[in-house]
Amino acid sequence: MAANQAQSARIAQLIAAFQQDGFQVADPNPGLGKEVVVYHDKIGIRATHQTATIGTTGQKKKAFYVEGDHYEMGYLMGQLAEPEIASMCKDFTKLVALAFVGANIKKFKPLKWLAGLILEIFAYWFAGNIYPDVPARYKRELEGVFEGCQARARLLEGRDTEVTWADLWVMNFASMPCSHLRIRVGRARLQCSSDSSTLILHPARSRGGSGKWSLSS
- Are 39 and 79 within 8 A, CB to CB? yes
- The predicted-structure confidence for 45-97, as pLDDT tens digits, reads as follows 999 999 999 887 888 999 999 999 999 999 999 999 999 999 888 776 566 55
Rounded CA-CA distance 182/204 in Å is 19
Residue 7 sits at the vertex; the CA angle it makes with 4 and 10, to the nearest 5 degrees, is 155
Judged against a pLDDT cut of 70, whether residue 216 lies above it is answered with no
Q: Which residues contact 1 (CB under 8 A, 6 or more apart)?
A: none
Q: What is the mean pLDDT of the chain?
A: 75
182-184 β-sheet, strand order: 182-184, 189-193, 198-205, 211-216
Judged against a pLDDT cut of 80, whether residue 111 lies above it is answered with no
Question: What type of residue sits at position 85?
Answer: I
How long a stretch of residues is the chain? Answer: 217
Rounded CA-CA distance 198/166 in Å is 21
Question: Residue 27 — φ and ψ, nearest 5°?
Answer: -125, 110
172 confidence band (pLDDT: 50, 70, 90): confident
The pTM of this model reads 0.71
Among the ranges given (16-25, 89-98, 130-139), the one the predictor scored with the smallest mean pLDDT: 89-98
What b/e sequence results for 41-75 when a residue is b if at least 16 CB atoms lie within 10 Å of its CB, and e otherwise?
ebbbbbbbbeeeeeeeeeeeebeebbebebbbbbb
Judged against a pLDDT cut of 50, whether residue 194 lies above it is answered with no
pLDDT at 122: 66
Rounded CA-CA distance 70/31 in Å is 21
pLDDT at 145: 96
Q: What average pLDDT does the segment 9-27 reach?
A: 95
pLDDT at 96: 59
The residue ranges of DSSP E strands in the chain, in sequence order, are 23-24, 36-39, 42-53, 60-66, 182-184, 189-193, 198-205, 211-216
